[in-house]
């Protein structure tokens, strides 16, 4: 059985199963400036989705992952909402497509109970504060 040293390694294991990676340059951005601009654009798009879905960003930790498989680019943001005691309450996966000119189109939001149910999740998530 696999055990994880950090919360990042635990979350990476779930994301990597679907070929998502936490480096924005997975999308093959050409320059550091392009990457910075894209990350800002992705954050703005995600903020709109969170507002539309009535998810309180002030009580959430957000982890962005990117995928580029056979020329199809997309991203997923893991949005982990937590309560006053910093205990995770829900995990949302926010999926978006990324066009060839790096425009972002929201696809869907899904709740993921598998990640939060992982036996090491609660312990490792505490280290994120």
Model pLDDT for residues 72-113, shown as the tens digit of each residue = 999 999 999 999 899 999 999 999 999 988 999 999 999 998
d(CA 19, CA 28) in angstroms, rounded, equals 15
State how far the Cα of 21 lies from the Cα of 102, in Å rounded to an integer: 17
- Residue in this structure with the two tokens 């790096």, named with its chain if needed: 102
* Cβ count within 10 A of residue 75: 24
67 close to 75: Cβ distance less than 8 angstroms: yes
Per-residue pLDDT reduced to its tens digit, 16-60:
999 999 988 888 887 888 888 999 999 999 999 999 999 999 999
**What pTM does this model have?**
0.88
């Amino acid at each position: 059985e696999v055990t994880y040293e950090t919360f990042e390694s635990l979350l990476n294991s779930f994301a990597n199963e679907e070929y998502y990676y936490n480096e924005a340059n997975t999308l093959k951005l050409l320059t550091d400036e392009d990457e910075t601009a894209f990350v800002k654009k992705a954050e703005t798009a995600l903020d709109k989705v969170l507002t539309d879905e009535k998810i309180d960003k002030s009580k959430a930790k957000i982890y962005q992952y990117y995928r580029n498989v056979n020329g199809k680019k997309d991203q997923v943001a893991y949005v982990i909402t937590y309560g006053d005691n910093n205990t995770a309450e829900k995990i949302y996966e926010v999926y978006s497509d990324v066009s060839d000119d790096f425009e972002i189109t929201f696809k869907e939001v899904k709740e993921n109970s598998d990640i939060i149910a992982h036996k090491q999740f609660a312990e490792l998530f505490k280290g994120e504060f």
